[in-house]
Structure 1
Amino acid sequence: MTDMDEFRAAVAAWAAGGPGGPARDLAARLPVRTAVLLEGRSDVAAVEALAARRGRDLAAEGVCVLSMDGATNAARHARLLGPPGLGLRLTGLCDEAERDHYAQGLARAGADPDAFFVCVADLEDELIRALGVPRVEELVEAQGEGRALRTFLHQPAQRDRGPRQRMRRFLGTTSGRKIRYGRVLVEGLGTAPVPAPLDGLLNSLPAGP
C-alpha cells in the first residue's frame, strides 16, 4: 500500500465516522494539495489511467484521486477535505443526474460549487461514445470476455436497447467489471479524442509538486 493509498483509506474511515487524526497527519506528510472527488472506483481507474498515459504521477503532485462510494457522499467529503477540514482544493467528476449533490456539497463547505466536471450520462457512456461500440467490442474481446458479451447481447431484455446502452449495461453486470474497464477503455482510446469532462478534469490539475 502506497502513502496515497493509506491517505485514501484514512479518509474513508474518517467519512464513516472514525477519527480524523490519521488523515490529517498523512495529508501534512505527503503533502496533499488537491482532492479529486469521484463517485466510484471505476472513475478512479479511468482518471489514473489517463494521467499515466500523459506521463503524470498525480500522487507525487499532491493530488489525491478518491472514490466516495456514491455522489450522495459529496457533502461529507467536501466538509472533511475542503475549507472546514483539511483545506484542500476540491474538484471532481460526476454524472449529470448527480450534479446537485456536488454543487450543494461544495457550496456548503465553502468551496467553489462549479469546480467539477459533468458527464452527460456517466463516464462509461462518455468513453463508449468516444471509442465507438465496435472498438469497445474489440477491447472486450481482447479482455477474454467476447463470449460473455455475445451471450449478454442475446438476452431478450437487451433487444429494445440501443448498441451504446447495451454496452453500458454489460460493463455494469459483473462485480469489478466497471473498475477494470475504466482503465481498459482509457488505455484503448489511442488517437480518439478523450471525453471532454475527463480531459477537462485532468487539465485542471496543476502539474508539478
Structure 2
Amino acid sequence: MDEVTRFRAALVAWAAGGAAAEAAAVRARRLADGVRTIVLVEGGSDQAALEALAARHGRDLGAEGVAVVPLGGATNIGRFLDVCGPPGLGLPLAGLCDIGEERHFRRHLERVGLGTGLTRAGLEALGFHVCVADLEDELIRALGPVGVQQVIEAQGETRSFRTFQGQPAQRERPVDHQLRRFMGTHSGRKALYARALVTHLTPARVPRPLERLLTHV
C-alpha cells in the first residue's frame, strides 16, 4: 500500500469520528507531507473516472501527491472539509459533485472559510466542479447511448443489459435512463463503467467537469 492510499484510509477513519478518530488523525497528519492536493468526490466511480482520465494523459495522480478521496455520499462533505480544510490539515482542495448536491458543497465550503456567496463560477475557481445530473449521466451523454452499449458489449454484459431492459419497471424508460440504472445495479459496476467509458471517449468528448477538474489538479 503506497503512502497516498494509506493517507486516504487514515483520512476516512478520521472523518468517520468515534474512538479511532484520534489515532487516525495522527496517521493522516504524519502522511500529509507527501500530499499536494486532496480531491473530494462523492463516490468510488468518480474516483475511478478521474484516475482513468489522468492515466490517459500519462499522469499518476497518487505519484504526484494528489489524493482522490471518495466521501461515501455528498452529505459527508462537511466532515471531510473539517479534517482536510482550514480547520484540519489545511491542504489545497478540489472536488466533484452532482448538481443535486451542489448546495451541500457550497454551504460547507463557505462554513470553513473557503468563500462567501459562492456561485457556480466561484466553486470552479476553487477547483470544485458540478456534474449534470451526475458523472454517469455526463459520460453517457458524452459517448451516446449507442457508444455506451458498445462498451457494455465489450464488457460481455449485453445479455445482462437486455434482461434488465425487459424488466417491467424499465420497459418504458428512455435508453439513457436504462443505462444509468443498469450501471448501479451491482456493487462495483459503476466504477467499472466509469473507467471503461472514460477509456472509450475521444478527447473532445470528455465531460467538462471532469476535464476541468483534472486540469486544476
Identity over aligned pairs, percent: 57
Q: Aligned to 1:104, which of 100, 104, 107?
A: 107
- Quote the offset at 1:61 in angstroms: 2.0
Q: Which runs of 5+ in 2 are unaligned?
A: none
1:1-209 aligned at under 5 Å gives the runs 1-17=1-17, 18-19=21-22, 20-28=25-33, 30=34, 32-112=35-115, 114=123, 115=126, 116-205=128-217
Structure 2 vs 1, CA of residues 199 and 191 (structure 1 numbering), >3 Å: closer, same or farther?
closer
How many aligned positions are there?
Answer: 203
Q: C-alpha distance in 2, partners of 1:71/1:111?
A: 18
User: 8 Å contact 1:74–1:101 — kept in the other structure?
Assistant: yes
SS at match of 1:129: helix
1:73 counterpart letter in structure 2:
N
For normalisation by structure 2, the TM-score amounts to 0.90
User: 8 Å contact 1:76–1:105 — kept in the other structure?
Assistant: no
SS at match of 2:205: coil
1:69 counterpart letter in structure 2:
G
- Quote the offset at 1:190 in angstroms: 3.2
For normalisation by structure 1, the TM-score amounts to 0.94
Deviations 1:53-83 (A, max 9, x none): 0111212222111101000011111111011
- Quote the offset at 1:139 in angstroms: 0.7
Structure 1 consecutive aligned stretches of length 4 or more whose deviation exceeds 6 Å: none
Aligned-residue CA RMSD (Å): 1.1
